[in-house]
Amino acid sequence: MNKDLAPTRRRTGRPSKQDMEPGQDAKTMLLQAAGAEFVESGYEHTTSNRIAHRAGFAPQTFYRWYKDKLEVFIQVFEAWTDAELEQLDALLTEQTGSRQIAEAFVANYRGFALFKRSLQQLAATTPEVRQARAACRLKQIQQVKRWNPALQNDELIAALLVAVEQLCQSLAEGEFEDMGLTGDAAYQQLSDLIDRLRPPVSAA
Task: Give the model's pLDDT for residue 90.
Answer: 86
Task: Give the model's pLDDT for residue 87.
Answer: 86
DSSP string, 69-109: HHHHHHHHHHHHHHHHHHHHHHHHHTT--HHHHHHHHHHHH
What are the residue ranges in the chain where pLDDT is below 50? 1-23, 203-204
**55-104 tens-digit pLDDT:** 999 999 999 999 999 999 999 999 999 998 998 888 887 889 999 999 99
Domains of the chain: 3-65 (1.10.10.60), 70-203 (1.10.357)
Task: Give the model's pLDDT for residue 202.
Answer: 57
